[in-house]
Amino acid sequence: MKVEVKMPATPVLTVAQIEAYRRDGFVVLRNAFDDEDTRTIIRWADEVEALPEELGKQWVFHEVSELDGRDLINRIEYIAPFHSGFASLTEILGTAAGQLLEEEAVLFKEKINFKMPGGGGFEPHQDSQAGWEDYASNFITVMICIDEATLENGCLELAPGQNKRGLLRGMEPLTEADTKDMTFVPVPTQPGDMVLFDAYTPHQSAPNPTATQRRVYYATYNKASEGDHIDQYYADKRKNFPPDIERDPNRVYVYKV
Ligand SMILES: O=C(O)CCC(=O)C(=O)O
């Protein structure tokens, strides 16, 4: 017997939330998903983690634990084509992204960052530094918290209002000079919370030295009027930073931002 899965409800931003985004470059929605929908999303993340790592499927990237040198999953990208739940979720999240883009949103990329115990952090950066301006003028990334994200396990930290400065530098993390006047605000989140931010909002996060994983899902959108770039984005990325299973053992791959 096939069990029907109830799809998560679509979060819609209030006027006050849209205003907060316009002021800060990001907005936090507490309990964007109710408990049942959050449990569904957590189960989907578990399913994605359990999928076999195969050529031509979801993109799995590993890292080495900073605690004990074990092999960890760092992130899994390009999930929706191989998981119907996440495919639905990319549609659902497009509504709020479209509210901030002020027109229909089209998916650009998506991933789960796992940050398992011993997983590394992220240096301060703006997402557009990764060459995204080649595809569209700006993007909205929607983050869904899957596991509790705390100060201890490396929650997201964002710098309010700094997106208005535009692109601060190319393919390298922001420097101390770039960030000296910035305040990074830690945003601890509970499963089911959502954070939306644009591609010029500087953000960072600390490594996870705790015993619990900190998974978050990110879906990134651009304006439909600026084109549908997901296939080109992943084709370009495949050339420089392919999933681990596709890598040439004689080549060195460097993660930039
Ligand atoms: O998941 C995080 O803590 C930050 C992720 C991030 O900044 C990125 O993937 O570019």
233: helix, strand or coil: helix
Say what the pLDDT of residue 118 is: 98
CA of 1 to the centre of ligand 1 (A): 39
CA distance 228 to 97: 15
Q: What is the pLDDT confidence band of residue 5, given thresholds at 50, 70 and 90?
A: confident
Residue 249: C-alpha distances to residues 44, 51, 56 (Å): 32, 23, 18
User: Does the structure show a pLDDT above 80 at 3?
Assistant: no
CA distance 167 to 201: 9
- Mutation test of ligand 1: which of 205, 208, 213 has the most ligand atoms closer than 8 Å to its C-beta? 205
Query: Is the pLDDT confidence value at 1 over 80?
Result: no
* Closest to 161 in 3D by CA, of 137, 138, 184, 129: 184
What is the number of the ligand 1 atom nearest to the C-alpha of 143? 1
Evaluate if residue 43 carries a pLDDT over 90: yes
Output the CA 125–ligand 1 centroid distance in Å. Answer: 9
Mutate to test the pocket of ligand 1, among 195, 203, 210, 213 (most ligand atoms within 8 A of CB): 203
CA of 204 relative to ligand 1 center, distance in Å: 7
pLDDT tens per residue, range 6-21: 999 999 999 999 999 9
Ligand 1 atom 8, closest CA: 122
Residue percentage of the chain with pLDDT more than 70? 100
The tokens describing 241, both together, are 């930073």
Give the type of residue at 42. I
Instruction: Compute the mean pLDDT over every residue in the chain, rounded to the nearest whole number.
Output: 97
Q: Give pLDDT, residue 257.
A: 86
pLDDT value of position 172:
87
Q: For residue 2, is pLDDT > 80?
A: no
List the residue whose alpha carbon is closest to atom 5 of ligand 1. 122
CA of 205 to the centre of ligand 1 (A): 7
Provide residues with CB under 6 Å of ligand 1: 113, 122, 127, 154, 156, 203, 205, 216
Instruction: State the closest ligand 1 atom to the C-alpha of 156, by its place in the atom list counted from 1.
Output: 3
Fold of 15-237: Jelly Rolls (2.60.120)
Tell me the per-residue pLDDT of 81-138, one tens digit each, with 9 for 90 and over.
999 999 999 999 999 999 999 999 999 999 999 999 999 999 999 999 999 999 999 9
